[in-house]
Amino acid sequence: MDYVFEKQRQSVNHNPPSRQRIWTVAEAKARLSEILRLAEKEGPQRIGARRAFVVVPADLWNSGRDKRKPLGRWLVENLPQGVELELPDRSSSREAPFQEENEAK
């Protein structure tokens, strides 16, 4: 099997590691303090099986959010280099599609 494919398959594996516990909602209600402590000490804690939720420490949550750039900045920084893009004519004299249909009404 291709190594890259195998790594990608592993990265999208939705099964939690065997050491990570999945808490039921009832357990989470009764043991919230413990879940919060474990989330800080051991990492994200999963609650629920059908509709899953994850308890994540705030610093971990914020660290992932701070790294994202605004879409506009990302697009400008990742434009293909050395490629000429042909932009459509933006003058007001250009023909607008469906213009005849709008004038007939």
What is the pLDDT, as a whole number, of residue 7?
A: 46
Task: Give CA–CA dist 105/100, Å, rounded.
Answer: 9
Residues 6-31 pLDDT 10s: 444 444 444 444 467 899 999 999 99
Query: Taking the domains of the chain in order of start, what are their residue ranges?
Result: 17-68
pTM for this entry = 0.46
Count the neighbouring beta carbons within 10 Å of the beta carbon of residue 46. Answer: 16
Q: Which residue has the higher pLDDT, 91 or 53?
A: 53
Superfamily of domain 17-68: YefM-like domain (3.40.1620.10)
Backbone angles phi, psi at 47, to 5 degrees: -125, 130
Distances in whole angstroms, Cα of residue 52 to Cα of each of 46, 48, 56, 103: 7, 5, 13, 54
Residues 36-60 pLDDT 10s: 999 999 999 999 988 899 999 998 8
Query: For all residues of the chain together, what is the average pLDDT?
Result: 78
Letter for the amino acid at 82?
Answer: G
Q: pLDDT tier at 102 (50, 70, 90 boundaries)?
A: low
